[in-house]
Amino acid sequence: MKQNILLVSATLDFEFSGWLHRTIPGFTVQKAYTVPLHLGTVAALTPDDFEVQIWDEAVQGEIEESTDFGKQFDLVGVTAYSNHLSRAKKIGRIFRKRGIPVVIGGAGVTAEPETVRDDFDVMFLGEAEMTWPQFLSDFKTGCYDKVYKATEFPDLSLSPRPRWDSIAHLLKSGYKTGGVQINRGCPFDCEFCHVWIKFGRKIRTKPIDQVMDEVSAFERLGMKRVIFCTDNFVGDPRYAKAVLRELIPLNNSFEHPLRYFTELTITISRDDEMLQLLSDANFAGLFIGIESPSIESLKGSRKRMNIHGDLVDQCLRIQTYGMPIQGSMIVGFDHDTPEIFDQQFEFLQASCIVIPRVNILKAGRGTDLYDRMLREGRIMDVERSFAGMSVSFPDDSFSSNIIPKKMTRVEMYAGYLSLLERVWDWHNFEARMTGFIDNIKRFPERKPDDRLVQAIAAAREAVYKFPAVNRAVVDNVFSYMNQHAPSMLWDIGAMVMLQCWEASRLPILREALENQIRVEESLEATKSIVPELVTIQ
Ligand code: B12
Ligand code: SF4
């Protein structure tokens, strides 16, 4: 008899797609942004003598003590990012109570194994292409280790096509985008990032045929979009161009070409051929780590690829192709003074980054930044510093564990809040959006897709139901688009929606940040911030 494995993706309530689904009934059918690629990959790595079922909490719902799966499982595997680890622990407890061994893998446990060491029977650190099959073979004998750690970076041709069979019926209705990984690793070594440490600086690429197969599988499953899950799509520019050259005809052969998203570096602004290929392949959003307009902060964090030339010009240049940049920005670097908040705001307005990701610096365990800050006594011992105080964030991406150098923590939080308020102000959004439209020189050529036009028409009505919508601005933006960029309906509609989400969650963030500022003020007044101690291993 085959043994049964359940693979679970732990999730949080405070995520865009789920929130949208709950807040505006009927607005969208999909509850989650993207498919659980990690679990699809782990499922595909599982030998045939096991049955595998995926459970993604974002779509299938939170698992509770009483959840009845209609069958017994012999093993449960959980995946989580760091921000989902507390949820993962709860899931672990539920299954352990049922007497089922529970294991954990993924980015969270890989970055901070000590946080969950006692909550799971087995931890998988790093990539699982070699370790998961090894563990399952040990599991069958009943004798397995507590930790399975990848000791080398596997060749990506060993990473199989993800298996979606157990959730295939949910893909189209549950997820906005499919996900395809094309490479792992990054040639850069930014101080705050652990990607180059965990995945190596040599880019490992997936065979292009497999990439095309994975894309086609999503098209057959009815998906409209695919995100290429990589830290740097252009980490190996020659390979990236080869992928794009295959993707363009494949995509054009689909009745409804898919739209693509990915993460890459600002270096593409200096490569016209790459920009054209991305545009012709129908890339509709580029996530770029810009981080800061301050050259000193960029140098200090080893974000070297961002210090060549004017960043505003480079962003505008990329966006002349009608591909909006989702810029990731960070405040709180060592060279940042309280002036950084104005500089960031002015930069975002000037570069017409309509939907930025504005982050506060956090030192993640396992990064060079964390180790340096720890040595300098600048990582806060959050538990001891905040003992007995009420501090809580809806999403811990908005909190920081560092003691900044050129400002106080109160100044950092206050500046951060003022920056968020300005960025998500509707009139500032409108200025960035009209600037974005005016800056387009080469419109993407797209086959008309009635499905998208209908979806946007419905969405446009629903946009007015958002809690924090500014109807006048929404109308202005759509009428400006109709006059100057009618073919960008879908892209602009999507950005309007994201602005609605950001503006809608601002009051919750404001409350959390104001509370944090009060708590931090009292800590500063009594000089009771406790730095974490360096422990000699
Ligand atoms: C694409 C991507 C995204 C996409 C979509 C990801 C997705 N599919 O859900 C988007 C843009 C939406 C995104 C968002 C975020 N992301 Co992201 N993202 C990535 C990226 C680039 C690739 C992830 C991926 O799909 N990999 C493909 C799969 C196959 O690989 P994998 O997840 O590593 O899984 C392997 C192993 O870990 C293991 N494994 C995984 N789970 C399990 C479970 C078991 C049981 C076992 C045995 C093994 C196992 O097996 C797999 C095969 O080897 C990674 C960086 C990276 N290179 O991994 C960052 C990364 C995962 N993201 C990260 C972060 C922080 C975020 C955000 C929180 C950012 C933010 N502030 O908003 C959000 C969170 C979104 C959320 N749902 O909460 C961090 C996580 C760090 C951490 N310590 O947890 C990473 C590592 C990047 C970084 N800077 O360090 N992300
Ligand atoms: S370029 Fe991006 S993925 Fe690469 S090291 Fe820097 S932050 Fe990490």
**What tokens were used for 431?**
């200025």
How many contiguous H segments (helices) and E segments (strands) does the chain have? 21, 15
C-alpha span between 514 and 244 (Å, rounded): 46
pLDDT in tens, the chain (537 residues): 899 999 999 986 556 666 766 776 666 667 888 999 999 999 999 999 999 999 999 999 999 999 999 999 999 999 999 889 999 999 999 999 999 999 999 999 998 899 999 999 999 999 999 999 999 999 999 999 999 999 999 999 989 999 999 999 999 999 989 999 999 999 999 999 989 999 999 999 999 999 999 999 999 999 999 999 998 999 999 999 999 999 999 999 999 999 999 999 999 999 999 999 999 999 999 999 999 999 999 999 999 999 999 999 999 999 999 999 999 999 999 999 999 999 999 999 999 999 999 999 999 988 999 999 999 999 998 777 777 776 666 566 778 999 999 999 999 999 999 999 999 999 999 999 999 999 999 998 887 777 777 777 777 777 888 888 999 999 999 999 999 999 898 899 889 989 998 998 899 899 989 998 998 898 888 877 778 776 644
**CB contact at 8 A, 160 and 45:** yes
3-state secondary structure of 278: helix
pLDDT at 395: 60
**What tokens were used for 5?**
């494995």
**CB contact at 8 A, 297 and 333:** yes
What Rg do the C-alpha atoms of the chain give, in angstroms?
23
Angle between helices 426-439 and 409-423 (to 10 degrees): 60
Which ligand has the nearest atom to the CA of 187?
2
pLDDT at 394: 56
- The answer, yes or no, to whether any atom of ligand 1 lies below 6 A from the CB of 326, is no
pLDDT at 91: 97
Q: Name which residue sits closest to atom 1 of ligand 2, judged by CA.
A: 188
3-state secondary structure of 444: coil
Q: Name which residue sits closest to atom 16 of ligand 1, judged by CA.
A: 81
What's the gap in Å between 480 CA and the centre of ligand 1?
A: 37
Q: Could you identify the atom of ligand 2 that is nearest to the CA of residue 263?
A: 2
Q: Is the pTM of this model over 0.85?
A: yes
For 344-367, b where at least 16 C-beta lie within 10 A, e where not — what string? Answer: bbebbbbbbbbbbbbbbbbbebbb
C-alpha span between 151 and 374 (Å, rounded): 26
pLDDT at 463: 82
pLDDT at 537: 47
What's the gap in Å between 457 CA and the centre of ligand 1?
A: 33
3-state secondary structure of 178: strand
pLDDT at 391: 67
- The answer, yes or no, to whether any atom of ligand 1 lies below 6 A from the CB of 385, is no
pLDDT at 27: 65
**CB contact at 8 A, 449 and 457:** no
**CB contact at 8 A, 263 and 288:** yes
Q: Which residue, among 86, 83, 81, has the nearest Cα to 397 in the 3D structure? A: 83
pLDDT at 399: 85
